[in-house]
Structures are given as C-alpha cells and as structure tokens.
Structure 1
Amino acid sequence: MSSSSVDIGTLERAEATFDDLPDLADNLIIKSRSFHRQYASLYFVRLLKLRPAVLAQAKLRWESLPDKPKYVPKVLDTGIKRCYVVGTIYVEMQLKPNVLKDLTEETSISAPTMPRKYKGSEDKISIEDESGRIELVGAILEKEFWVTGTVVALLGKETAAGSFEVQEVCYPGVAPQPPIPQNNDNSKYVALISGLNVGADPATDLKLQLLTEYLTGELGTMDIQKSSSRITRVVIAGNSIGTRQLIEEDQKTKKYGYDSTRYDAAPLNQFDELLEELCASVPVDIMAGEKDPVNCQLPQQPLHPSLFTKAKENATMRSVTNPYWCKMDDVTFLGTSGQNVDDIFKYADSDDPIVMAERCLFWRHIAPSAPDTLWCYPFQDNDPFILDNSPHVYFIGNQRQFEQSTIEGPEGQKVRVVLVPAFSETGSIVLVNLGTLECSEICIDV
C-alpha cells in the first residue's frame, strides 16, 4: 500500500496467520438440500448433545444441598419431592408468528404485521424432553430470561395441579476454550463492518468511498495511513447489497408475479466495484445477511461468486457462511449477521442486545429460537449452532450501536462480545486488536 506522499516511502500491509477452521465451517455448508424433513430431529439432537453439560453443572450446584435433591431423567416422572430435571424450554406466545393460524384466519395473501416483541402477559412456559412436556409455574419465571429452544436444568417440585414449580435454573455454562498464546504484538487489527447497504441510498455513497479509501490506506494523514496499514483482514457481516426504493409511479403499477423490468443491478455492480478495490489491498471475508441475495434460513450459504464479476478475480476475496468461524493469529472468531440476536430480542422485555448475545455463550447455543421463530435448515444428525468450544471473539452484525463486553468462564475462558453497528446508518467500523482483543470504533461522518 503506497502513501500519499512520495517522500514518505511505502507502507506495508500487516499480515496475520489465517485458518478457515474447516471442521467447523463444514458443518455450516448444506451439501444436500431437502426440506421434507421434520424439525423434531433438530431439537432431539440439541437436547442429546447439551444434556451432559447442563447435567454436570446441575449436579455440581444442587446435589450438595441439605435435602440432596435427585435428578429425574424424565420430566413427566417428577413428584411432590424436590428434584431437578433437564429439558428444552418451549414458550407458548400469542404474539409470535404462526403459519397455520395465518393461513386459516387471513382472508388475503398479504404478510401479517410482525410485532416488535413476541413476549406477552399470557405466555406459557414449559419444559420438554423425549417423554413429554410439563408446564412451569413459580415466581422465578418473571425474573429469568426464557427463549424457546434453550436446554436447561430446573430445580423444583410438582404441584397438585400437575405443573412444575421452578425454584432455580441452571444453564450449560461457557464452553471450553483453547488458550490464546501470549502475543506481544499489539499492532495488528481485524476490521469488522456490517450493513453497508450499497446502492440503497445515494446519500451514503460518499461514506462508502471514504470507507474504501481508509481501508486501502489512501485517506488522511500519515498517522491514519499507518493505522489502516495495520488492518490484516476485513470481515463484512451481512446486509451488504441494498435495494433502491421504487419511485412513486412504479409503486402505483402493480403486477402479479415477477417483473424483470423492475430489477436493478446497480447496487450489486457498485458493491462488486467496492470489493474489487478493497481486495486489491486487504483480504476480505463477505458474510451473507438477511437482505442479501441468498437463502434466508440459517445457516446462510456463501454468496455465489458469479455475483461478483470483478472482485472474484482476487484471491483475497472469500465468500463465507453466516454464522462464520475463523482463526487469525490463533484468535478464534465467531460471528453472525445479527438475525439470531434480533430474534432473541423479541422474547425479552430487555432492549439491551449485548445481554442477549452474552446469554448465547452461557446457553452454548447461538440460535436457540431456530427453528421456532427463526428460519433454519432442518438438520437431522447435527445442530451446527451448538458451541462445543467458545470463541475468543463473538461478534454480532447490523446492530444499532457499538458495544463490547467480556464474558468469563469458571475455567479461565474469556470471550470478547462485540456488537457491530450497521455502517449505512452509523458510519461505524470496529477494529479488534489481535494482541489484546480490545475493540475500538471508528466513525466516518460526512
């Protein structure tokens, strides 16, 4: 990368080792598509794999109590004596989407309005396993954070009405984590960006140009150029390609079926040109997002290379899945484009998304609400959203603002949780220091 002044000389782009973690990435690639399967297998596999972890935590926590409560293997075998069970949470919500209900009650084919929150005053919470389902009661229900699909252990006893009165809740806890080797080089960074929405609004074009110039080292003073030269990789976390708004005349003209005359290739071509310029200077990983031209169900598959006629010629461009695992300088990254946390957000009264991202680590599952309210592929033999190992950095794209926190586990695990704002709305880039895992926000404002 060359500086803007000939007298200063040439700046070299910093480099970091890279591993695409094929064992983890392979689980996210859908090799054979079949949607004729039932989702029950996904819940069964999830419970089967997470049960040992949550049971170990429950035994450690509860079997030393004075009354020595015992573990009951089946939720339907609980009695009036205090015990604990392990199962999958199910939250029955009146406000959440229901396809069958929509088909029977709606008189038109227009999509129903999506509520901001699914949570309501008449929600019913249950726990289920292979034997059946039992409704939960108790004051603790108002204090805890309940999401369909989470695997938990519950301490309590059965009531005369046949419900299970919950006294305490136990989660699987933070998964094991490989230690980070001591790294004294604190001068290398990874740039996290999301929500570019290229082409959606001409007003953001200047911000996108400044972003490109910053990342390629063509913007600002020598100090700024030195800083950008320390960026070893750029990860774009979804919602990259925008959609132009239809003009008023087009909105009045309604046609049935697909109308090819309304297709606008300009946003895609503009993004392709942006990538071509970036990839000539720095490696770029592109994750799919909710609004990108790819399958909507998780895990989203890589954007097809044929979409990028110019950028695909660069070996530094990689189209990857959402969620996405990788390792840079022995620092393991896990990221999503935001759909998982956005859906969990609808289950809670809280409006703090970083808390919801943190909970995923304690649940050992990054998308528990799939497939109930979050679309996902009907896996049969595995659940790729389970965390067998914790990453060192867990980032969530397309959020309202930049936030970061650190989660610590009982065995010394430390996970940096990062919320990456949508660039088209905030002009924000997040830099992760590969030596310290500290994160900083850079804002481009015009």
Structure 2
Amino acid sequence: MVKLEDVSSLLQAPAPEQKVPVRTDSTYKPLHSFALDKQRSYKQQYGDMYFLRLAKIKPAVEEVASKAWDGTEIGGELAKRVDRVLDVRQGELCWVAGTVYMDMRLKPNILEDVSKDRWLSAPISSQKYYSDDGSDQIMLEDDSGRVRLVGELLNSIPLVTGCIIAVMGTENTNGEFEVIDLKVPDLAPQPERWALSKAPSAKSKSEDTDMTDSPSPNGGKKVAIVSGLSFSGTDASAYNPLPSQLFDEFVAELLPSIPVTLLPGARDPANASYPQQPIHTAMFPLSRAYASDPGAASTSQPGWFDTVTNPWEAEIEGWRILGTGGQNVDDVFKYVESDDRLGMMEAMCRWRCCAPTAPDTLWSYPFQEDDPFVLKSCPHVYFVGCQPEFATKVIHGPDGQSVRLIAVPSFSKTKEFVLVDTETLEVTKIKITSR
C-alpha cells in the first residue's frame, strides 16, 4: 500500500519509489461450446439427440465395461458382449450398453396431456418425479428397441433419462433384464492446465505477486461466482424495470475495475430452452459499453462485460471451467430419491453429459448433428448456480482427472456467494449480513 505522509498528500501523485498496487488482467478464453446459429429451426425430431448421444458415449462405456467384464465367469458361464438390446437372449449371461429411459408415473407426458379432456382438473404439481411405491420402471434402449431393467443393484445407483450405461446380467422369463453389475463412462479425458491459452511468464507472475494485495502470499487471483440475483424481478405477470436498472448500475460500477461474465438463468430475459443464449446487452445500457462488438468474431478477445450462454464453458487462468444456471441439476433432482446435489453433479461428470434429461423433461433445442451436452473433455471446475445451499468437493477419475464441484447458493435467498482461488482452486463462501 502507498504510505501517506500527511493529509495533503491525498491529492498528490505517488513518489517514484512508492509502489502502487495494480490489478493485472486474468487470462480468460470463452469456448462458445453452446452457442446456437442465428438461423435455427425447431421442426426436427428430438429423437435424433438420443442417437447422437449414444453414438458418442457408447464407445467409452463399452471400453470401461470390457475392461471390467472380459473373462468374467459366473456359475460356469462366461459373460459375453451383445451389440444391441434386442440381441439379449433369455438365460444367457451377457452385457449390453444403451440409453436409460425412466418410465415414471409422476413425470409429465405431453402426449398424455394433449389426449386428456380439456375439462379435467389440472394435475397436482410435484417437486419429484420419483415415487417410492415401486411403480417407476427403468428401461435400457438403443436403435433396436428397449428392455426393462430390474434388480436390487438399481436401488443404490442414481439413474435418469438420457444417461448412457452398460449393464451385465441375464434376461428372465418375464422378458426383464436382471442386472448384477453396472458401469458408466466415467470422467472424460482432462486437458492439461493452459491447454488453450499461454501461461504467464515467471516474471509476470512475480510482478503479479508483488503488486497486488492478495490476502494469502501463496494464493492466486480470485474469481467470484454469484448466482440467483433475480435482477429481472420475481413476478413474471407484471413488468418492473427497476431491478434490471439497479443491476445495470451496480455492474457498471464494477466494470472499470473487474470483468464480469453473465450467465442467464431460468427467470431471466433469455430463451427458456437449453442451451440458453446470452442475454442481449440492450438490457444493460450502462454496462454494454464494456462489451465486445456484437459483430466481432467468436475468436476475438471478449469484452470486460461478457454475456454468455447457459451452460457455459471457458478457460480461466488455464483451468477449464464448466458452469450452468442450475436447471440441469434441478431437473435431475426430480428423478432421484436423494437430495445430494453434489452427488448429482458428480454423476453428470461420470455420465459425460451435463444435461442428460434434455430434451425429455428439460426443454432443449433439437440438435441434429451434434449434442453439445456431451462432455468431450473433463473440466477442472464444475459449478452450478441457484442451489439451496453451498457445497463443494473434489472428485477424481481413473486416469488422474480431478474436478472441483461447487454448488453455488442463490444469493437472493442466502446472501451468499463463493470465491475460487485460481491457483489452488480452493473455495471460500462469503456471506453478506446486514447490521
């Protein structure tokens, strides 16, 4: 800090020997993994998304299953691999890979809703699709057909529509596949740090440490993650511009000092379907001056005010970061009995899909050529916003992968946000209280 000799020195420039604190820019590279074309159509069939997902993830889960089950012998019978679900034969020990489909009584079904008489009373809303009365059924399907999965093992493993798994067992006399073991693709290959951007030199690192007032001598720069700001208001039936105006003024005050990345959420002025596209900068007349040129190429340097997609992927200080507004976890939450949000986030990473329930119960764009929700690479940090409470943990993969999971609480409800150290990936929860 600059030492002041007297009060009058406040209006004087610092002496040459006085070191002035400066804030160095962070290395930030958005990946635009979930950006949609400007000209897009919703006339396609959604079924193609499941076939795309299966085609991309099936080789990975088959590799895991093959390593685990090749040569497995039970009761004198050798487990064999079958290519398609309909190739399963009754009484034969085998394993097969496919897409999970959950047939649940409480899950909304648009076809049934349309076929019902319009004068019927509206169904009772439920926070969970899961039912403990045994009526839920787990199916495994591919392009050949589907088979029902049964077995005690399934009660201890969270499964949702859209995840890709491999199961080993036998078909019983009822035509059901009795599962004795189950495998998931596990974590995708993880890129090294600084895989896409250039690491700062040792000199610049030294200058950064000397010239900034970091609270920890060994810590790096901090990234603040705040979710659930509700700047668009809480009442969707009445337009109130005041929250967005106040938010714009607040962000505009921050931008001269620090860059801001803005992800849309479920209640924000953006498209409702996944992946949500960036909120238009016209919503922020004061902050938009810090945004990049709307006509600039995606490869150009982003502005300090960067409105991005939800989900969003970027590289910050060399770390691969994946973040969402929380709709994907909120939807998975409805499928399972557990309330463990971090467990659901871990399952998505090990399924290699950040939105497995899209497009079944999570609205999404009907992709035809690629499924961007498939995790082609494993992130170093995976955060999910608008969660009931803060939670974090680190998970590890079979090939040395390490992922920091962060459930970011809704700020409007908890007055909490999190700080992530960009050198150690340590996470700190900050709570703002009023006196």
TM over 0.5: yes
CA contact under 8 A between 2:383 and 2:407: conserved in structure 1? yes
CA distance in 2, matches of 1:285, 1:413: 26
Structure 1 pair 144/233, CA: closer, same or farther in 2 (3 Å)? closer
Residue 26 of structure 1 deviates from its aligned partner by 4.4
- How far does the alpha carbon of each residue in 1:78-123 deviate from its partner, in whole angstroms, 9 at most, with x for none? 1121000010000100101122323343646997543111011201
Q: Distance in 2 between matches of 1:188 and 1:107?
A: 65
Tell me, yes or no, if the aligned pair for 1:186 and 1:435 is still in contact at 8 Å.
Answer: no
Query: In the aligned structure 2, how far is the partner of 1:12 from the partner of 1:60?
Result: 53
| Change beyond 3 A, Cα 1:159–1:186 | farther
C-alpha RMSD over aligned residues = 3.1
Cα pair distance change 1:53/1:2, threshold 3 Å: farther
Alignment of 1:78 with 2:78, yes or no, is no
Paired position in structure 1 for 2:35:
28
Give the equivalent residue in structure 2 for 1:407.
395
Residues 352-431 of structure 1 correspond to what in structure 2 (within 5 A)? 352-431=340-419
Equivalent runs, 1:232-271 vs 2, <5 Å: 234-237=224-227, 240-245=230-235, 262-271=238-247
How far off is 1:232 after superposition? 5.7
Kept after mapping to 2: 8 A contact 1:88/1:128: yes
Q: Residue type matched to 1:60 in 2?
A: K
Q: Partners in 1 of 2:232 and 2:57 — Cα distance? A: 38
Alignment gaps of 5+ in structure 2 = 291-302
Quick one: which amino acid aligns to residue 168 of structure 2?
A: L
1:231 CA displacement: 5.1
Match of 1:295, as an amino acid?
N
The one of 6, 11, 28 aligned to 1:18: 28
CA 1:271 to 1:3, structure 2 compared with 1: closer, same or farther past 3 Å? farther
Alignment equivalent of 1:100, drawn from 95, 111, 136: 111
- Aligned mate of 2:101, from 75, 90, 107: 90
CA contact (8 A) 2:227 2:409 kept: no
Cα deviation code 1:163-213 (max 9, x no counterpart): 111111100010000123699979999xxxxxxxxxxxxxxxxxxxxxxxx
Letter in 2 for 1:56: E
2:230 touches 2:412 (CA, 8 Å); kept in 1?
no
Inter-CA distance 293–46: structure 2 relative to 1 (3 Å threshold): same
Displacement, 1:274?
1.2
Is the contact made by 1:233 and 1:284 (CA closer than 8 Å) also made in structure 2?
no
Partner of 1:277: 253
- Structure 1, residues 138-185: CA drift from partner, whole Å, max 9, x if none? 222222212010000000111111111111110001000012369997
Q: Partner of 2:78 in structure 1?
A: 68
Which residue does the alignment assign to 1:332?
320
Aligned amino acid, residue 101 of structure 2? Y
Q: Is the 8 A contact 1:237 1:286 kept in 2?
A: no
The structure-2 alpha-carbon separation of the partners of 1:186 and 1:174, relative to structure 1 and needing over 3 Å to count, comes to farther
Query: How far does residue 27 in structure 1 lie from its aligned partner after superposition?
Result: 4.2
Question: 1:153 is paired with a residue of what secondary structure?
Answer: strand
Cα distance 1:289–1:303, how it changes in 2: closer, same or farther (>3 A)? same
Note if contact 2:222-2:422 (Cα within 8 Å) is conserved in structure 1.
no
Bigger shift: residues 173-182 or 300-309: 173-182
Residue 180 (1) aligns with residue 190 (2)? no
Report which stretch shifted further, 299-308 or 230-239: 230-239
2:49 aligned with 1:42, yes or no? yes
Q: Which amino acid aligns with 1:392?
A: H
Quickly say closer, same or farther: Cα 1:137–1:349, change in 2 above 3 A: same
- Aligned partner of 1:211 in structure 2 is none
2:421 aligned partner: 433
Residue in structure 2 matched with residue 192 of structure 1 by the alignment:
none
Preserved contact between residue 232 and residue 269 of structure 2 (Cα < 8 Å): no
Distance 1:75 1:34, change over 3 A: same
AA aligned opposite 1:167: I
CA contact (8 A) 2:170 2:178 kept: yes
- Which SS does the other structure have where 2:48 is aligned? helix
Which residue in the other structure is 2:63 paired with? 56
| Structure 2: distance between partners of 1:136 and 1:3 | 71
SS at the partner of 2:78? coil
Contact 1:3 1:9 in 2 (8 A): no
TM-superposed deviation, 1:15: 2.6
Q: Give the Cα separation in 2 of the matches to 1:115 and 1:17.
A: 44
Report the residue type matching 1:93 in the other structure: M
- Measured in 1, the distance between the counterparts of 2:37 and 2:250 equals 29
In 1, the alpha carbon distance for the partners of 2:3 and 2:371 equals 48
Cα contact 2:139–2:148 (8 A) shared by 1:
yes
Deviation at 1:357, TM superposition (A): 0.6
* Structure with the largest fraction of helix: 1
Deviation at 1:133, TM superposition (A): 0.7
Shift of 1:266: 1.1
What count of residue pairs does the alignment treat as equivalent? 396
CA apart distance, 1:279:
1.1
8 A Cα contact 1:233 1:282, kept in partner: no
- Structure 1 unmatched runs, 5+: 190-216, 247-258
- Asked if 2 retains the 8 angstrom alpha-carbon contact of 1:13 and 1:231, the reply is no
Query: Which digits, 9 at most, give the CA deviation of each residue in 1:299-324, with x for residues without a partner?
Result: 00000011111100014101000001
> What is the rounded CA distance, in whole Å, between the counterparts of 1:2 and 1:366 in structure 2?
47
Percent identity over the alignment is 39
| 1:136 is aligned to 2:149 | yes
Calculate the TM-score normalised by the size of structure 1. Answer: 0.82
CA distance in 2, matches of 1:295, 1:126: 31
Instruction: Decide whether the 8 Å contact of 1:238 with 1:290 is kept in 2.
Output: no
Q: Is residue 186–residue 436 contact of structure 1 (8 Å, CA) maintained in 2? A: no
Instruction: Tell me the CA shift for residue 60 of structure 1.
Output: 0.2
TM-score, with length taken from structure 2: 0.84
Residue 149 in structure 1 maps to residue 166 in structure 2: no
Is the Cα–Cα contact under 8 Å of residues 94 and 168 in structure 2 kept in the other structure? yes
1:235–1:285 CA contact under 8 A, matched in 2: no
Letter matched to residue 316 of structure 1? W
The answer to whether the 8 A contact 2:190-2:378 is kept is yes
Q: Does 1:311 align with 2:282?
A: no
How far off its partner does 1:64 sit?
3.0
